[in-house]
Amino acid sequence: MNDKYEMPELYLYRELTSNEQVAINQKLISYVWDIGSLFNVHMKNNAKSYNLVKLTSINFENEATAVWVHFETIT
């Protein structure tokens, strides 16, 4: 993925082209394999945000065109 490519919000995933979805999939998988890195997860609307989490797995559902991001908190 090109570093200049601006990642869309995940809630727009269903509206993306197949190539854009694959690019997001590859980027998210690279985050899971990035040992020692912690991330901030910001939820849509008023849902609780999580700071400094370790991504543990990413699941992709083709039929629902959904992405499930699993993470564990360190606090």
Residue 5 lies in a domain: no
pTM of the prediction? 0.59
Residue 65 lies in a domain: yes
Residue 66 lies in a domain: yes
pLDDT tens digits, the chain, 75 residues: what are they?
A: 445 566 677 777 778 888 888 888 888 888 888 878 888 888 778 888 888 888 888 887 765 567 788 888 876
Residue 25 lies in a domain: yes
Residue 59 lies in a domain: yes
Number of domains present in the structure of the chain: 1
Residue 1 lies in a domain: no
Q: Which structural domain range is residue 23 located in? A: 10-73
Residue 43 lies in a domain: yes
Neighbours of 37 (CB within 10 A): 11
